[in-house]
Amino acid sequence: MLTLDQLRPGEVGEIFRIEGCDGISCRLREMGFVPGEAVRFLSKAPLGDPLSCLIQGSRIALRGSEARRVFLAPPGGSTQPSLSGAASGFPEPSGRCGSGCQQMGR
């Protein structure tokens, strides 16, 4: 599956999911990186980090490691996972982390 850091400048993707539930992934969700939202990749710094993108009218700079947590829907694909839990290969949510995002069970 494609991640935000794999887009080229000017390309637009639709967010499918955000990986993890630590402070960074929760903060990404708070900034608008939520499933179904469109994100435009603007540019990379000369050494590749940070990346600049546009989401909900705001220009956001992300580290490459943060952008790799943002998974994009395949072109023409659904933004809603069709399977959950063990059937999808992802654990079921087991609770909430500090800012209200779903915490993934370990």
pLDDT tens figures, 8-31: 999 999 999 999 989 999 999 999
Domain annotation covers residue 81? no
**Per the structure, how many domains does the chain have?**
1
Please report, to the nearest 10 degrees, the dihedral formed by the alpha carbons of residues 42, 44, 63, 83 taken in order. Answer: 60
61 domain residue, yes or no: yes
CATH number reported for the structural domain that contains residue 58 in this entry: 2.30.30.90
* 45 falls within a domain: yes
**pLDDT digits 0-9 by tens, 22-66:** 999 999 999 999 999 999 999 999 988 899 999 999 999 999 999
3-state secondary structure 31-66: CCCCCCCEEEEEEECCCCCCEEEEECCEEEEECHHH
Task: Tell me which residue range forms the domain holding 96.
Answer: 4-75+89-104
Would residue 80 count as lying in a domain? no
pTM: 0.71
